[in-house]
Structure 1
Amino acid sequence: MVILGICPSPGDWPLSCFDLTQRRESVRTLAWAHHLQAEREQPARQPANDAASDARQRVDLALQTLDYTQPPAPELLADLKRLVVSHDVDNLVRRRAAIALARLGSRAPSGVAALKQVLTEVKSGKEPASTLLWVLPALGRYGSLAHETAADLAFIAFDSHYPEEIQLSAIAALVEMGATREGLAVIEKLLTNRHLPLELRTAGMQGVIAYRQEASILLPQVLRWLDDENFALRAMAAEAIGGFGERAMVAEERLAAMFLDDPAPLARESAAQAILAISPQPPPWIINIYDETMTEIAKVEAAMSSGSLASKAGQLSDDLQAELALKLAALRLRQLEILQLMGSSRDWQPMATNSARPQGAADLTQWKLWRARFEAALKSDSLKVSLLALEILLRSNTLKGVEWQPVIQRGLFSTSPEERRATVRLFQKYPWDAQCQIWLEGLLKDLQGQALQIEDQAPSVNSQAPAEQRLETLQRIDGLTDRQVVQQAATRQQRLLSQQMAAVRAAIRAVETRKVPAP
Structure 2
Amino acid sequence: MTGSASSPTILAPREIKLHLLGLVLFVGLLGLWYWLSTGARAVPTLIEMLQDDDPSTRIVAAEQLGQVGPAARAAIPRLLAQATEDGNQHANTTAAAALKSIDLTSARQVMTHFMPRLQDQDAQQRRTACAVLGSLGPVAKPAVPALLAAGHDPDELVRRNALMALASIGIPSPPIVAALLEGLRDSSSLVRQTAVTQFAFTVPLTQPVVTAVTPLLNDPNRSIATLARSALDKARPDDATQLESLGLMVQHSAARDYALHQLAQLGPAAGDALLPVLPLLQDDRPLIRYLAAEAIGAMGVSATQALQPLRLRREDPDPVVREAVAEAIAGIEAAMAPAESSGKAARP
Greater relative contact order (Cα 8 A, min sep 6): structure 1 or 2? 2
TM-score by length of 2: 0.45
Greater share of residues in helix: 2
TM-score by length of 1: 0.32
